[in-house]
């Protein structure tokens, strides 16, 4: 007896065929997006003022990437609000890989400490590539007679009203470093926020504030010229970069570690585009002259895949949040 056709089975197999076809089309579309990228100008958005380490790293990579891809890669500075203005601009942009946030670890610090941000960086940004790391340096004016962290502590404790420290903005990496120093050394210190690291360093060496944490490009040249004094650094690598200074900086043990710089795009950017941009950045950073240029400003090349950066960023934000609670760091 001949079996009757089962309409349910027919619908089922038709559905399977449609889903498989859709997956195939989407996969081809994603691969096509990666193959055609870039077909327009890419903009690296730096959420800080010109002259800082983030700006230097972004411009080094943008220049070489533009040359390699024969497609414009521009750098746009959108400073203010501790990096929030630049990050918000990128998050609200089209997720197509043409607007890229090149941010310092301050992005993670602010995300871990500030519960009132207009975005959730872990959710709203997608990692592209880690780019570099720099030790941070504890900087003071050269004519204060301070040669160690112990000297700084004595001076701070002698001031009954407390002292002031500078940073590149509320919730910046420098803010976290400086607050952790005051907490670990047991002295009172008030935070003074600036638009960028260069401005914060200038007011420190002119003694408007007592100390600041700054990356190599903003600290080492001034220290070598005698216009600033470096008392400590966040890692042993920082000691190496400062080997030609008259006084060897101490390594801080109660600190979150070196600053980092990385590229992010809006969440929803196709994986194929993220991977292609990540590979392009890694190729540029592998160039000997780029490595040398960054080393000259106290930065060491570090790269990653998009997935590795996503994992690192998520962990970093969580760690900062715990530190902020333990140290009672307030963003006021």
- Regarding whether 150 and 213 lie in a shared domain, the answer is yes
Residues 173-191 pLDDT 10s: 899 999 999 999 999 999 9
- Kindly report, residue by residue over 191-237, the tens digit of the pLDDT: 999 988 899 999 999 999 999 999 888 899 999 999 999 999 999 99
Query: pTM, whole model, 2 decimals?
Result: 0.79
Residue 32 is predicted with a pLDDT of: 58
CA distance 328 to 183: 9
**Are residue 265 and residue 239 in the same domain, yes or no?**
no
Whether residues 194 and 127 fall in one domain:
no
Q: Which domain holds residue 109?
A: 40-133+258-327
226: phi > 0 → left, psi -120 to 50 → alpha, else beta; which?
A: left
Q: Cβ atoms within 10 A of the Cβ of 56, count?
A: 23
Query: Measured between alpha carbons, how far is 45 from 68 in angstroms, rounded to an integer?
Result: 20
Condensed to tens digits (0 to 9), the pLDDT of residues 109-164 reads 999 999 899 999 999 999 999 999 999 999 999 999 999 999 999 999 999 899 99
Of 217, 222, 232, 244, the C-alpha closest to 298 is 217
188 shares a domain with 53: no
Among 186, 217, 251, give the residue marking a domain's end: 251
The band of 25, judged by pLDDT with boundaries at 50, 70 and 90, is very low
């Amino acid at each position: 007896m001949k079996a009757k056709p089962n309409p349910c089975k027919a619908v089922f197999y038709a559905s399977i065929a449609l889903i498989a076809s859709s997956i195939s089309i989407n996969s081809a579309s994603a691969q096509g997006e990666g193959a055609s990228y870039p077909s327009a100008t890419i903009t690296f958005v730096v959420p800080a003022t010109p002259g800082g380490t983030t700006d230097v790293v972004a411009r080094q990579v943008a220049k070489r990437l533009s040359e390699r891809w024969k497609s414009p890669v521009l750098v746009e500075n959108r400073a203010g609000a501790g990096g929030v203005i630049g990050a918000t601009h990128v998050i609200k942009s089209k997720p197509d890989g043409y607007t890229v946030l090149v941010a310092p670890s301050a992005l993670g610090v602010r995300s871990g400490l500030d519960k009132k941000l207009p975005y959730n960086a872990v959710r709203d940004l997608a990692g592209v590539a880690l780019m570099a790391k720099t030790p941070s340096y504890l900087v003071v004016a050269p004519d204060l007679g301070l040669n160690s962290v112990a000297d700084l502590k004595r001076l701070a404790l002698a001031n009954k009203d407390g002292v002031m420290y500078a940073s590149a903005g509320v919730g910046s990496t420098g803010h976290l470093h400086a607050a952790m120093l005051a907490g670990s050394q047991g002295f009172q210190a008030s935070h003074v926020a600036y638009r960028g690291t260069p401005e914060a360093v200038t007011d420190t060496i002119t003694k408007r504030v007592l100390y600041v944490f700054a990356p190599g490009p903003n600290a080492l040249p001034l220290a070598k010229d005698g216009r600033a004094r470096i008392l400590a650094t966040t890692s042993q690598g920082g000691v190496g970069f400062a080997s030609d200074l008259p006084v060897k900086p101490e390594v801080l043990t109660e600190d979150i570690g070196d600053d980092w710089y990385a590229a992010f795009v809006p969440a929803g950017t196709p994986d194929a585009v993220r991977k292609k941009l990540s590979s392009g950045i890694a190729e540029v950073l592998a160039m000997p002259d780029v490595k040398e240029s960054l080393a000259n400003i106290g930065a060491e090349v570090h790269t990653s895949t998009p997935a590795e950066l996503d994992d690192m960023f998520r962990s970093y934000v969580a760690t900062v949040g715990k530190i902020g609670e333990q140290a009672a760091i307030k963003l006021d």
